Amino acid sequence: MTWFCTLPSPIGELTVTSDGEALTGLYLPQCRYGPANTDGWKRDEAARPFDDVAKQLDAWFAGRLTEFHLNLRPAGTPFQQEVWRCLCSIPYGATATYGEVAGLTGRPSASRAVGLANARNPIALVVPCHRVIGSGGRLTGYGGGLPLKQALIQFEAEVRMYGPTQFACRWPNLTAET
């Protein structure tokens, strides 16, 4: 059974999914690669499986949390799973290139495959695919759009530098075409 609920956030309504024990998905408001099949999903009006997720996301958006502590169960191929584990090792407020992530997987020439796995990450923000950039520091592809990717990177950098009460990140207007 897949449970879901929606949670408000500064970047718009997030859709979160769970199997009742672990977080299986966190989808951005304008996610390019959303869940493939929502048949059989059951809305949890009380958000019971999501209480901890909601609390941690609130703290993260307030700049008080830099590392999530959640039970995760994203569905994907073994290579995708490996890439997603590597993404979780990128420190808060830092970035890594697709090539660097490929190196972490032990496949230094697999940067394109890393990009594809990154694009299919079903647990946005918690599995920080927004921290992956192109070579030379270029912003490339993001399911939520490049303005949001830039805002997330800037937000984390400012919180890391100035602390949670000092950041001045302006979230992009997600209702506009990105």
118-148 core/surface letters (b: 16 or more CB in 10 A; e: else): bebbbbbbbbbbbbbbeeeeeeebbbbbebb
Nearest CA-CA partner of 44 in 2, 6, 17, 4:
4
* Structure-token pair, residue 52: 């901890």
Alpha carbons 8 and 13: distance in angstroms, whole number:
5
Q: Which of 5, 31, 86, 129 is catalytic?
A: 129
What's the one-letter identity of residue 42? K
- Is there a catalytic annotation at residue 129? yes
**Which residues form the catalytic set?**
129
